[in-house]
Structure 1
Amino acid sequence: MSVSSLDIIIPSFRPAANYLLPILNLAKPPDIRIRYFLVVDNPTATIPESIKEREGPDLNIIHHQQNQGAAVSRNDGIEAGHAPWMLFLDDDILVPENLLFTYIHAIATHPQEIGFIGLIRMPAPGTAFTEAIRASGSMDIFTVAEKKENHAWGATANIMIRRSALGDIRFSELYPRAGGGEDIDFFLKVRAHNHYRNFKSLPEAAVLHPWWNQEKVNIQRPFRYGIGGSWLAQLNPQYVYYDLLNTPELLLLLIFGSVAAAVWKPQLIPGLLFILLGIIIVELVANMIQALKRRAPLRPAVFFYVLLLRLSFQSGLLWGNLSRGRLTGMGERFNDDGKIRKLNFYRLNSYKITKWIGYPLVCWLAFRYWF
């Protein structure tokens, strides 16, 4: 299959020449029109002169006059182009010079595919926080291309899609502006539109993604992803199942119950506080076991951050549902692998086993000594 043109869509909040110029200078396959669409979603951002001077037929710079979010930025890039294939790239990745050749070869070799998931590597963790991110598994989607032959979705940092596969599907603007869930929603909908055909993995198309924020602690990102997760379940109910309450959901119910019980019988307060503390300790132990299974280093700070990341995500999930009055979101979980399962409470792993052995033990101790 011959490819006449390719659109490259790059949303950007902080356009930096050291990242963008190598992307703009990628080696171009002969006889193929490559057009870049750089969507700067920050009205106060200064576009480097080395980038601005490149603007022309092959580089279209779209500078938003107000921040509109990741979804709008990608949609603007989609609408601005017309090539049969689109490549989504982040604005802060390091790219190999032959990246476009790899993708074009994949199109020629597998013309029937609806898209290709590139590989996204990250540097070795340099802090306890980034060690925790790796151990938590929250960024496993970055390397899914080297683990599976195909998958239901991929990260927009490095993924190619056939334009005709989209139809009228676009990134939803309901998700958090800074990103969180809109990419999963988009690719799952494209997949469903194409008879549930997965995107093919292309590990040869590998880029390097630096750690965010110089590896500093940041829990806003997982919290935002959690809010996005609440929207995923609401907008894609076919992938929803119900599971046991997570820790923030359980703590919320216990806090309300404890307030009511304390008013009714104040002598119950010590026992109730013990249960609340016990739940947090059990959650920590469960996360430690899971982190060790993923070969996390034996460092207390790493275990603490693994716990913090999980609780941040789960708190975002809870807040997203409660802020919209979705009480049915309590215990609601989402199959982001694109599988439609109607079985509830079916998943069993070391994390869940640890929690549901620990919880009865905590309650037994509370009843034995305080109730």
Structure 2
Amino acid sequence: MPDIKQRIDIVIPSYRLEKEYILPLIRLPKPEGWVFNYYIVVDNPQVIVDEEIARLAAAGDIALLINPTNLGASTSRNRGLEAGSGQWILFLDDDIKADEMLLHQYVDAIARYPDEIGYIGLVKLPPPPTAFARALVINGSMMIFGIAEETDTFAWGATANVMVRREAVGSSRFSTDYPKSGGGEDVDFFLNVRDNNHSRNYKTLQEAVVYHPWWDGGQASFKRPFRYGVGNSYLSQFIPKYAYYDFPNTPEALFLLLLALPFIAFLAPSYLGSWLLLFIGIGFAEVIATLFQAAKRKAPLSAAVAYYLVPLKLAYETGLLWGNIARFRFKGIGARFEYKGQVRGNGFFRFNTYKIVKWVLYLIFFVLLFA
């Protein structure tokens, strides 16, 4: 029996338990001299277990753990993490297809870089099939999937394909304080593990590849960015060392204008019409600044892609705002999170072309309306 240092636990949280995804992951070619233990945590007590998966579980080839109720992604991953004892923990999603050499690549990385706290694999998406999917790529929503192709190390990775050393994880767990539907808890976990290990980044492995499909075939849906915004609104609260304050984004600015509206109506009713026109001006500034930023990045813009860029950004930022005001955390308005794991010295403001264009337009509108 191989030593415990030659064990990798593979944790796959799942709701659908679709055999066309799960079985190929179980059947991945295994490097000799290593033991791979699968912990498939099903967050759906009503799931119908495929016969082949049930047979593998009954034979002890995999551990199939079915939650008694829908407990969320964090609890499911924690349950899989705690069920094993291998030196390494490989997190995979239940809707990916892996390169045949995935496990070999991770084992090879352990041999080549034995002192790393973990490895971030590459998550490849097919070419964007729709204008909405192209807009997701252009606005940076999918950046973390391909981070292994951009840099040698990074502060956190997507749980679709990332492996961590159990010793480095220690007592860290995925926080259950984030929404069950997901968003923010993965960033929180990997940054906490990193910070508990002298803030050392994870090694990226572009050769450790999995393939992720587009959700719903790339059809337009703003629920996911909104949900991520809600989840990410917790990050600046739970990991304040990476938080800073910035200019209000568009939903925050509109919300603040709305709060001020009764006071304007009471104290300066002659300006009420101009105040209402500011709402339109702020929306117009958002459109111009977003498209200007995309053009500066030389993104391939069509009219259809441009149509989705602004609502995608607004969906995420509205989720960020709603996540704060829904729990009455009004000091979260304007709070931002540094996703690269860099502590900001002054804790305030970041300038870029998008913000400069937007705030110059704000100033112009304000002068035109109230001068």
TM-score normalised to structure 1 length = 0.95
Aligned to 2:152: 149
Q: 1:367 Cα shift?
A: 2.0
Does 2:338 correspond to 1:348? no
Describe how 1:88-99 pairs up with structure 2 within 5 A: 88-99=91-102
Q: 1:265 Cα shift?
A: 4.4
Describe how 1:19-168 pairs up with structure 2 within 5 A: 19-55=21-57, 56-168=59-171
Q: Which runs of 4+ in 1 moved over 3 A?
A: 263-267, 293-297
Q: What is the CA deviation profile of residues 157-213 of structure 1, one whole-angstrom value per residue up to 9, with x for unaligned ones? A: 000000010111100001111210000000110001111111001111011111112
Please, which moves more after superposition, 266-275 or 76-85? 266-275
Judging changes above 3 Å, is the alpha-carbon distance between structure 1 residues 292 and 14 closer, same or farther for their aligned structure 2 residues? farther
* Structure 2: distance between partners of 1:168 and 1:221: 30
Note if contact 2:4-2:87 (Cα within 8 Å) is conserved in structure 1: no
Note if contact 2:6-2:34 (Cα within 8 Å) is conserved in structure 1: yes
Note if contact 2:247-2:349 (Cα within 8 Å) is conserved in structure 1: no
Q: Percent identity?
A: 47
**Aligned amino acid, residue 34 of structure 2:** I
Task: Find the partner of 1:14 among 3, 13, 16.
Answer: 16
* Structure 2: distance between partners of 1:303 and 1:281: 14
Does 2:226 correspond to 1:215? no
RMSD: 1.6
Note if contact 2:118-2:203 (Cα within 8 Å) is conserved in structure 1: yes
Q: 1:132 Cα shift?
A: 1.0
Note if contact 1:35-1:57 (Cα within 8 Å) is conserved in structure 2: no
Note if contact 1:2-1:108 (Cα within 8 Å) is conserved in structure 2: no
Task: Find the partner of 2:180 among 177, 192, 207.
Answer: 177
Q: 1:228 Cα shift?
A: 1.6
* Structure 2: distance between partners of 1:362 and 1:9: 53
Q: 1:51 Cα shift?
A: 1.8
* Structure 2: distance between partners of 1:186 and 1:219: 25
Aligned to 2:200: 197
**Aligned amino acid, residue 25 of structure 2:** I
**Aligned amino acid, residue 224 of structure 1:** R
Secondary structure at 1:14 match in 2: coil
For structure 1, which runs of at least 5 residues remain unmatched after alignment? none
* Structure 1: distance between partners of 2:340 and 2:151: 12
Does 2:189 correspond to 1:186? yes
Secondary structure at 1:53 match in 2: helix
Q: What is the CA deviation profile of residues 221-269 of structure 1, one whole-angstrom value per residue up to 9, with x for unaligned ones? A: 1112112222111111111111111111111111122233124444433
Does 2:263 correspond to 1:260? yes
* Structure 2: distance between partners of 1:21 and 1:295: 41
**Aligned amino acid, residue 138 of structure 1:** S
Q: What is the CA deviation profile of residues 317-345 of structure 1, one whole-angstrom value per residue up to 9, with x for unaligned ones? A: 11111122212111111111111113244
* Structure 2: distance between partners of 1:195 and 1:182: 21
Secondary structure at 2:195 match in 1: helix
Describe how 1:328-343 pairs up with structure 2 within 5 A: 328-343=331-346
Aligned to 2:253: 250
Secondary structure at 2:38 match in 1: strand
* Structure 1: distance between partners of 2:4 and 2:45: 39
Q: 1:137 Cα shift?
A: 0.3
Tell me how many residue pairs correspond in the alignment: 368
Please, which moves more after superposition, 53-62 or 242-251? 53-62
* Structure 1: distance between partners of 2:266 and 2:149: 56
Aligned to 1:227: 230
